[in-house]
Amino acid sequence: MTVGYIRVSTDTQVTSNQKNEILNYAHVLHVKVDKFIDVTMSSRKNMRDRLMDALFTSLSLGDTLIISELSRLGRSTQEVLQTIEKLMKIGIELHIIKQKMVINPNNRNDFVSKAMLTLMSLFSELERDLISQRTVEALKARKEQGVILGKPKGSIQKSKYDIYRDRVVELHNMGLSLNKIVSKHLEPAMGKGNCSVASLSVYLKRRGL
């Protein structure tokens, strides 16, 4: 049996995208997806464990599981690896679309020497995906609670030029061009390439100087 695994999100578009990715992938392989398993992930660890256990019990030896990307298997690298290990013990062939991986439990040597090395190289990408996903979910939750996101209107972002502000204004008022201020005063202090006439000009305009 071929199963498509979807980690359900409150964003229906994201959920729909996962299903479409899996169906398109199966079509290319000329494989029919017999059913989809939807799991709504909870922020509570014990609930997540129960939900994942329900996924494992619905699969049998010889089944094929297709997911859209590696990060769908857990909220951290450790959780992802634990999930993969459990799937291997059951005897599930795992297809991961985004990372273009197929993990076959019948070829343990290949899994250890090849897939694990691939996983190691994907750890940094995976962690960034997970952090980004959690950030988006947190921001969405705050927005739904009525929290106004973003910086207050009229606020000014800190700049690398702030510590040189008084000196720059003094030199500029003395008649020095921005080009000379950058080349003779800022570059020796900040390093060449870390400042420019264009960025300094924008800084002065935004500060009303």
Domain residue spans of the chain: 2-144, 162-206
pLDDT of residue 104: 81
Active-site annotation, residues: 9
Dihedral angle over CA of 135, 39, 36, 129, nearest 10: 20
pLDDT of residue 113: 43
pLDDT of residue 46: 63
Backbone angles phi, psi at 181, to 5 degrees: -60, -40
- Could you identify the residue written with the tokens 């398993």? 37
What CATH number belongs to 2-144?
3.40.50.1390
| Residue 145, burial from CB neighbour count under 10 angstroms (0-12, 13-18, 19+) | exposed
Q: How far apart are CA 197 and CA 74, in angstroms?
A: 47
pTM above 0.85, yes or no: no
* Biggest CA pair distance of the chain: 81
Q: How far apart are CA 20 and CA 59, in angstroms?
A: 21
pLDDT of residue 108: 60
pLDDT of residue 149: 63
Residues of the chain with pLDDT under 50: 113
